[in-house]
């Protein structure tokens, strides 16, 4: 869904509608105020109460019928197909199905676009982390000796470092302004390099035990090279570990991205990301006044659960040898 954010979301996620800050989600109606039934769902436009900042009421005189496939803000589908079609919208006023934020930006569009950024960063970051972890773990476990010592001490060093403070220092060396694209790759790089130590240690453990197994010894006896052994016999055993790690890492990285935004290394406003959406909940007034600001967080929950489920299914499917009986 997030891949087609531009199409599914009705608006540009950075577009500010300054007359509607903190507008609550509009309710879809089928029956109007006079009791007539309409086949096409519609919303009533919300007007701000006189003198109030964030109090709205439904204006039953102004129904906004929901239209599908409307022309709106330009966007690029999948990053390169320029389009103006959106899955739904209205003709005159703006429609907010998930409410709006403090600048009057559409939360639904922001959630979808934010997913694009966060999930992609999470997946890529997890990929890099696992790849690094796999290589280091396999090398250390398989070859052992001084390589093992060196790599594992390095991993321990990485685990022991106070990352947040190092990132502060890193921020000082970077140029002042970071464009959203640079920030995005920066996040991936940071996440990838910070996280490799734990999977590397796990992989090393798996490799250590696997290389002493009989079939590995047998293959070695037949003259298989180290590289072949690793590729064919040992690393497939580590796949289950990696998949579970991946399932844990992606949600972790979405949260980490939020921390990074806080340090000034994250995706800068106004570009949305799930981290940005969550961080608006840090304000007490938002927490107690605007319930719809929680919605992105609630929608993320089934998503992450689904991801964990996927991870465990993959693990079952991908397990080539049942260890034990």
Partner 1 sequence: MTLERRVATTGANCFLPRLSQGLLWALVWSFAAPIVAFPQQNNSKEEFLVLPGETGRFGGRVVVALRAEPKTLNPLIAADVNSREVIGAIQADLVHINRTTQSTESAVAKSWKISPDGLQYTLVLRRGLTFSDGYALDADDVLFTFRVYLDEKVHAPQRDLLLFEGKPISVRKIDPQTLVFRLPKPYGVAERIFDGLAILPRHLLEKPYEEGKMGQLGTLATPPNQWAGLGPFRLKEYVAGQRLVLERNPYYWKTDAKGNRLPYLNELVFLFVPSADAQVLRFQSGETDLISRLGAENYSVLSREQKDYTMVDAGPGLEYNFLFFNLNEPGEKTSAETPQKLRWFREVKFRQAVSAAIDREAMVRLVYQGRGSALWGLVTPGNRLWRDDQLPHPPRSLDKARGLLKEANFSWNTASNGGSTLVDSSGKPVEFSIITNSSNTDRSKMAALIQDDLKQLGMRVQVVPLEFRSLLDRVMQTKEYDACLLGIVSPDADPNVDINVWLSSGGTHLWNPSQAHPATQWEAEIDRLINEQMYARTFEQRKRLYDRAQEILWDYQPMIFLASPDILTDARKAVGNFRPAVLEPYVLWNVEQLYLRNDAVNASR
Interacting residues with partner 1 (CB under 8 A): 14, 16, 18, 21, 51, 53-54, 74, 76, 82, 102-104, 172, 176-179, 264, 268-270, 283-286, 288-289
Q: Which residues contact 115 (CB under 8 A, 6 or more apart)?
A: 1, 2, 5, 274
Cα separation, 243 vs 310, whole angstroms: 9
CB of 290 to partner 1, least distance (A): 10
Nearer to partner 1, 127 or 264 (CB): 264
CB of 88 to partner 1, least distance (A): 21
Nearer to partner 1, 143 or 262 (CB): 262
Cα separation, 276 vs 13, whole angstroms: 12
CB of 313 to partner 1, least distance (A): 40
CB of 149 to partner 1, least distance (A): 39
Cα separation, 284 vs 179, whole angstroms: 30
What sign results for the dihedral spanned by CA atoms 185, 303, 43, 47? Answer: negative
Nearer to partner 1, 101 or 233 (CB): 101
Only one residue has tokens 């390099």, namely: 193
> Any alpha helices (H) in the chain, and if so which ranges?
5-8, 107-143, 145-160, 163-173, 180-195, 197-210, 214-221, 226-229, 235-263, 274-279, 284-289, 295-318
Nearer to partner 1, 100 or 245 (CB): 100
Nearer to partner 1, 237 or 266 (CB): 266
Cα separation, 255 vs 266, whole angstroms: 11
For the chain, the residue count is 325
CB of 292 to partner 1, least distance (A): 16
Nearer to partner 1, 61 or 172 (CB): 172
29-31 and 56-65 strand pairing: unpaired
CB of 248 to partner 1, least distance (A): 30
Nearer to partner 1, 24 or 104 (CB): 104
CB of 190 to partner 1, least distance (A): 17
The answer to whether 140 touches 44, Cβ cutoff 8 Å, is no
For residue 75, what is the enclosing H or E element?
strand 67-77
């Amino acid at each position: 869904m997030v891949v087609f954010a531009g199409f599914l979301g009705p608006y540009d996620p950075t577009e500010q509608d300054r007359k509607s800050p903190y507008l609550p989600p509009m309710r879809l109606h089928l029956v109007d105020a006079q009791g007539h039934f309409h086949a096409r769902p519609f919303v009533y436009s919300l007007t701000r109460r006189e003198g109030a900042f964030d109090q709205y009421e439904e204006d039953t005189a102004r129904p906004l019928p929901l239209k599908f496939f409307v022309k709106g803000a330009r966007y690029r589908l999948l990053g390169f197909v320029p389009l103006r079609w959106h899955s739904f919208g209205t003709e005159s006023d703006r429609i907010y199905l998930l409410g709006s934020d403090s600048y009057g930006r559409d939360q639904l569009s922001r959630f979808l676009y934010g997913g694009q950024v966060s999930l992609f960063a999470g997946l890529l970051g997890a990929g890099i982390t696992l790849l690094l972890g796999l290589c280091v773990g396999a090398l250390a476990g398989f070859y052992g000796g001084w390589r093992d010592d060196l790599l594992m001490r390095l991993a321990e060093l990485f685990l022991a470092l106070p990352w947040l403070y190092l990132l502060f220092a890193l921020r000082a060396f970077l140029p002042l302004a970071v464009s959203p694209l640079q920030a995005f790759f920066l996040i991936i790089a940071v996440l990838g390099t910070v996280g490799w130590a734990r999977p590397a240690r796990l992989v090393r453990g798996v490799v250590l035990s696997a290389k002493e197994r009989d079939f590995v010894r047998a293959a070695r006896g037949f003259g298989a090279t180290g590289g072949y052994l690793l590729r064919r016999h040992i690393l497939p055993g580590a796949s289950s570990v990696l998949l579970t790690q991946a399932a844990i890492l992606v949600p972790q990285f979405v949260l980490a991205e939020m921390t990074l935004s806080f340090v000034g290394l994250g995706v800068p406003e106004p570009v949305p990301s799930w981290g940005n959406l969550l961080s608006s909940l840090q304000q007490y007034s938002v927490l107690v006044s605007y319930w719809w600001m929680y919605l992105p967080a609630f929608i993320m929950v089934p998503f992450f659960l689904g991801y964990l489920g996927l991870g465990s299914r993959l693990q079952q499917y991908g397990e080539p040898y049942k260890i034990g009986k």
